[in-house]
Amino acid sequence: MAAPVPLTGAEETMQPSIRHMRMFQTLAETHSVTRTAEICHVSQPAVTQAMNKLERDAGQPLFQRSPQGIFPNEAGQAMAHRTRRALAFLDAAMADMARAIRFQATRPQLQALIAVTETENFTLAARQLGLAQPTVHRSASMLEQAAGLRFFERTAHGLIATRVARQLAQAARLAFAEMEQAEAELAALAGREVGRITIAALPLSRSTLLPGAMLAFRQAHPGIPFEVIDGRYDELLAGLRRGEIDMMIGALRIPSPIEDIHQEPLFDDSVVIVAGRDHPLLAQDKVSPADLSAYPWVVARPGTPIRAALEALLPEDSIRGAIVTSSVILLREILRKSDYLGALSRVQALPEGEASAFGVLPLELPESLRPIGITTRAGWEPTAAQREFLDLLREGAASMRDAQS
């Protein structure tokens, strides 16, 4: 095979076609261009050209020749592992579809499917992809024809994606995420840093675990950027499951809300009641639940661990009339300027957290213990850089456990 061309600038992107991925995987398993051509229903020159393109895109050789055949080298083995995982997602979703879709599906067609499934509108999908509406419509229609199944139904309320369309769109998202992992791993083998680490940050993690781990990681890997996303738990969880987010840091949900995620506890936290520094309850040696109901409240959104702890403590009237927010900044300012009460993670109320703004009331909430940790997709395999960052999070959590003991 021809020597790969080094990548520069905007060329540093690997987006192999589905057909090329299948050829690559077959060649890695059969070690024969002839056999690969037969299995993939293409010519031998087509296989060779496809592999040359993959090596150019990777910026390094992926195979080595021997008298026994063509075998993947270290980079090729890493690529084969990720390709196998990516195709497994697609093949599982295509299991009940016509066989033609396995060889005819293209990356643009799957990208169109994802966009139309998300927007339920061809015009909005085209705008999202930066393409003409007829182009997106044609891509989705060709994919539907290859599958032999209906992907979309028109109703009085608009376009609705069928179950098989949603399953294939999700599989494509995860397959594309695997190939992004492959790109990062191949770049690392070539001595380059490519990609980013995308983190869903729940409130506690933003002021405790994340800053230290991120700074330590950037000292060793200045070329790998972070993207930190905050939002509601259910929205972040959806992004994680779609492959758009690598990991979520913060309070774990017990029991797990869904089976396709993995939760790793790092340390336990509890909930404390907080008030502004001049609040009259801070002058009392003891505070009872009855004392709390005499004041207005700022509470977290329903479904959060802090909200659950307050619902077990306060009368329904206090919850019903409360200000609802997950913003620590808003909570701090309301408490600073009023006699409102609120609840916060004990870790956030430590001296290095928000203690300068809050006072903690002398009232224990024994049922408020909650695990803090890392949530990832079940079966997710991090790159070496991502594993290193996860280890930094674990080290930071160990230091926090030591500080609490």
For residue range 255-282, what is the model confidence (pLDDT) as tens digits? 999 999 999 999 999 999 999 989 999 9
In angstroms, the CA 300 to CA 323 distance is 8
What's this model's pTM, rounded to 2 decimal places? 0.86
Is a pLDDT exceeding 80 seen at residue 12? no
Question: Chain centroid to CA 75: how far?
Answer: 25
Is a pLDDT exceeding 50 seen at residue 5? no
Q: Which residues contact 43 (CB under 8 A, 6 or more apart)?
A: 37
SS3 36: helix
Indicate the pLDDT class of residue 356, thresholds 50, 70 and 90.
low
Alpha carbon separation from 116 to 105, 127, 226 (Å, rounded): 16, 11, 28
pLDDT at 204: 80
Each residue of 295-316: pLDDT tens digit?
999 999 998 889 999 999 999 9
Q: Which residues of 267-306 are buried (b: 16+ CB within 10 A; e: fewer)?
A: bebbbbbbbbeebebbeeeebeeebbeeeebbbbeeebbb
pLDDT at 210: 93
Each residue of 130-167: pLDDT tens digit?
999 999 999 999 999 999 999 999 888 789 999 999 99
More confident residue, 35 or 370: 35
* CB 332, CB 323: distance < 8 Å: no
Residue range 11-171, CATH number: 1.10.10.10
Fold equal for 11-171 and 271-368? no
What DSSP character marks residue 43?
A: -
Tokens representing residue 155 in the block: 């109703």
Hey, what's the torsion of the CAs at 19, 24, 25, 27, to 10 degrees? 120
What is the second-level CATH architecture of the domain 271-368? 3-Layer(aba) Sandwich (3.40)
* CB 303, CB 309: distance < 8 Å: no
Among all chains, which residue has been given the structure tokens 């050829």? 23
Each residue of 202-227: pLDDT tens digit?
988 887 889 999 999 999 999 999 99
Tokens representing residue 268 in the block: 């336990």
pLDDT at 3: 38
In angstroms, the CA 84 to CA 79 distance is 8
Tokens representing residue 21 in the block: 């991925």
Each residue of 278-287: pLDDT tens digit?
999 999 999 9
CA nearest to 376, candidates 263, 226, 267, 243: 263
Write down the domain spans for the chain.
Answer: 11-171, 196-267+371-404, 271-368
Tokens representing residue 98 in the block: 């016509």
Beta-bridged to residue 344, according to DSSP, are 272
Among all chains, which residue has been given the structure tokens 């909650």? 370
Each residue of 76-90: pLDDT tens digit?
999 999 999 999 999
* CB 253, CB 263: distance < 8 Å: yes
Is a pLDDT exceeding 70 seen at residue 13? no
Residue range 196-267+371-404, CATH number: 3.40.190.10
SS3 231: coil
Q: What integer is the mean pLDDT of 167-174?
A: 98
SS3 163: helix
pLDDT at 352: 47
pLDDT at 2: 38
